[in-house]
Amino acid sequence: MKKQKATLSEYYQWIKAKRSLKLSIWLPQLKRKLTGFRNYFGLPDNSRSLSYVYDYVLHNLYKWLNRRSGRRSYNWSNFKKMLEYFRIESPKVSKRLVLVDWY
């Protein structure tokens, strides 16, 4: 639980720090971060925690992008289109490999 809270805090601070830069610069970095997180922690038993982190990141990304100007920059449908444009996908957990010894 401590590691998950630290990860969530790290994502929150990172998004907050990068929000004023151009999206084309830092959203591919966010995609790589999320992909690496999914690749490392993406086990079938961990899918609930993985989706929680992903949802947390998206909600904070939406929050901080809408605070960039005096008016709202995105609604949810435009936000989803932006995620599709940058190919930020929801995490898909792969099946666990079972190794069998053949004698």
pLDDT at 14: 96
Mutual angle of helices 23-41 and 2-18, in 10-degree steps: 170
Give 13-19's long-range contacts (Cβ < 8 A, gap of 24+): 15/57, 15/60, 15/61, 15/64, 16/60, 16/64, 19/64, 19/65, 19/67, 19/68
Cα separation, 64 vs 55, whole angstroms: 14
At position 65, the amino acid (one-letter code) is L
For residue 42, give Cα distances in angstroms to 21, 57, 86, 88: 30, 16, 21, 16
pLDDT at 66: 92
pLDDT at 33: 94
pLDDT digits (tens, 9 = 90+) for 14-69: 999 999 999 999 999 999 999 999 888 888 888 888 999 999 999 999 999 999 88
pLDDT confidence bin for 102, thresholds 50/70/90: low
pLDDT digits (tens, 9 = 90+) for 7-16: 999 999 999 9
pLDDT at 32: 95
Contacts of 41 (CB under 8 A, 6+ apart): 49, 50
